[in-house]
């Protein structure tokens, strides 16, 4: 059971929901929490467990072999991303611009650009009671999140069986990284705030998941502030509203110092239970 937790923009409470939901579910059930916001993985600030596995993650990029190269320049010509540049006496490769399409490498007549792995980040696997927490961290200076996201999902799918509830904390936005993170999931939870910004961004996010033909539901964070636009929109468009997390300064304070919320705010616990029940129902329906 794969569930993505996503939002149109950053700062709407995506991480807060992910870690609290994972911790809540873990009281009854095994759960995997996977932080795919690889540029800014913050879930680890809230969930501390025992590190049980760690691996470096690589992507393939071309590497110049000077002895074989005739400086014909074909590599630069075929690269659509300015990732291979021919200078007077050498070829330079920029791993961050490279999309690993293999064109330069395979079309080079002298085989002077073999593909080699370069490190892009690290994957860590922690265990805390019933929670398996997996996070990947893009190395500073690395720009492409997508290959690391797809490899992290592969790790999770390879190590946990199909029935386990897996929560994927997705990167913000509506561009490639979030599409990569939600491509294979069974269900998407969209979290937003009941404000004009939140309303505008969640509509974009809904458009995105619809385009990907995903089932989805909405959670409203900071409920009580702002207006009813999101609520009304969900109702008018038959979008399941999974939970309403109240607006409360105390919650913001707990977040700021990296603490779990539902253990201290009963209303949040109740709302998480609503989401959990919904997930269980989905799981039942999936089996049939």
Partner 1 sequence: MKIAFTTKGTEWDSMMDPRFGRTEFILMFDEEKDELVNFDNRSIEGEAHGAGPKTAQQLLEMKPDVLITGNGPGGNASSVLEQSGTKIFVGAGQMTAKKAYDAYKKNELKAF
Partner 2 sequence: MKEIVVISGKGGTGKTSITASIAYLGGKDIVVADCDVDAADMHLLMQPDFEKSEDFYSGEIAEINQDECIKCGKCKDVCRFNAIPIINKQYTINSLNCEGCGYCARICPANAITMIEQNVGKVHISNTKAGNIMVHAELGIGADNSGKLVAKVKKEAKLLAEKTNKEFIVIDGSPGVGCPVVSSLSGADFVILVTEPTVAGLHDLERVYQLVKKFNIKAGCIINKADLNGNVAKEIEEFLKKENVANIANLPYDETFTKAMTVGQTIVEYGESNLKNIVIESWDKIKELVTN
Of 58, 71, 85, 100, which one interacts with partner 2 (CB under 8 A)?
100
Under DSSP, the state recorded for 225 is B
Query: Among 82-90, 125-133, 171-179, 203-211, which window interacts with partner 1 (CB under 8 A)?
Result: 82-90
| Per CB under 8 A, 73 contacts partner 2 | no
| Per CB under 8 A, 72 contacts partner 1 | no
| Per CB under 8 A, 96 contacts partner 1 | yes
Q: Which tokens is 279 given? A: 């997930």
Of 28, 40, 56, 90, which one interacts with partner 1 (CB under 8 A)?
90
| Per CB under 8 A, 72 contacts partner 2 | no
Beta carbon nearer to partner 1, 98 or 167: 98
Of 19, 75, 83, 179, which one interacts with partner 1 (CB under 8 A)?
83
Query: Among 39-47, 48-56, 81-89, 175-183, which window interacts with partner 1 (CB under 8 A)?
Result: 81-89
β-pairing verdict for 31-35 and 131-138: parallel
Beta carbon nearer to partner 2, 12 or 20: 12
Residue whose token pair is 């089996």? 287
Find the helix or strand (DSSP H, E) in which 220 lies: strand 216-223
| Per CB under 8 A, 86 contacts partner 1 | yes
The rounded distance, in Å, linking the Cα atoms of 44 and 19 is 9
Of 200, 215, 264, 281, which one interacts with partner 2 (CB under 8 A)?
200
| Per CB under 8 A, 92 contacts partner 1 | yes
β-pairing verdict for 216-223 and 241-246: parallel
Closest CA to 180 of 151, 142, 143, 210: 151
The rounded distance, in Å, linking the Cα atoms of 249 and 168 is 27
Half-sphere exposure of 211 (CA within 13 A, CB side): 10
The angle subtended at Cα 225 by Cα 223 and Cα 228, nearest 5°, is: 75
| Per CB under 8 A, 141 contacts partner 1 | yes
Q: Which tokens is 32 given? A: 């995997």
| Per CB under 8 A, 94 contacts partner 1 | yes
Q: Are 5 and 33 in contact (CB under 8 A)?
A: no
Residues 251-270 that bind partner 2 (CB under 8 A): 252-253, 255-258
Cβ-based neighbour number of residue 238 at 10 Å: 6
Q: What is the DSSP string of 41-96?
A: --GGGT---EEEEEEEEEEEEE---TTT-----HHHHH-TTS-EEE-SS-EEE-TT
| Per CB under 8 A, 124 contacts partner 2 | no
Beta carbon nearer to partner 2, 56 or 253: 253
Minimum distance from CB of 140 to partner 2 (Å)?
A: 7
Please give the residue ranges that form the binding site for partner 2 (CB under 8 A). Answer: 8-12, 15, 39-40, 42, 45, 78, 80-81, 99-103, 106-107, 140, 143, 172-176, 179, 193, 195-197, 200-201, 204, 207-208, 211-212, 222, 225-227, 247, 249, 252-253, 255-258
Please give the residue ranges that form the binding site for partner 1 (CB under 8 A). Answer: 81-83, 85-88, 90, 92, 94, 96-97, 141
């Amino acid at each position: 059971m794969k569930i993505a937790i996503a939002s149109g923009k950053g700062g709407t409470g995506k991480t807060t929901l992910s870690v609290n939901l994972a911790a809540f579910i873990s009281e009854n059930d095994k759960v995997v929490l996977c932080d795919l916001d690889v540029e800014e993985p913050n879930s680890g600030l809230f969930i501390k467990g025992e590190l049980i596995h760690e691996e470096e993650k690589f992507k393939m990029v071309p590497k110049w072999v000077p002895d074989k190269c005739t400086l014909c320049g074909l590599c630069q010509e075929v690269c659509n991303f300015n990732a291979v540049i021919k200078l007077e006496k050498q070829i330079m490769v920029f791993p961050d611009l490279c999309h690993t399409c293999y064109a330069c490498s395979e079309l080079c007549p002298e085989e002077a650009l073999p593909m080699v792995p370069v490190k892009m980040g690290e994957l860590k696997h922690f265990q805390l009671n019933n929670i398996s927490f997996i996070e990947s961290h893009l190395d500073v200076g690395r720009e492409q999140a997508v290959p690391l996201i797809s490899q992290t999902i592969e790790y999770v799918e390879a190590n946990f069986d199909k029935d386990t509830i897996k929560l994927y904390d997705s990167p913000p936005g509506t561009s490639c990284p979030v599409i990569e993170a939600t491509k294979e999931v069974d269900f998407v939870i969209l979290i937003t705030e009941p404000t004009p910004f939140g309303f505008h961004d969640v509509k974009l996010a809904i458009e995105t998941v619809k385009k990907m033909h995903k089932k989805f539901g909405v959670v409203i964070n900071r409920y009580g502030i702002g207006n009813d636009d999101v609520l009304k929109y969900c109702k008018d468009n038959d979008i399941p509203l999974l939970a309403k997390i109240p607006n409360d300064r105390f919650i913001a304070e707990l977040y700021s110092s990296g603490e779990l919320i539902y253990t201290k705010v009963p209303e949040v616990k109740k709302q998480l239970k609503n989401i959990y029940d919904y997930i269980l129902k989905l799981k039942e329906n999936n089996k049939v």
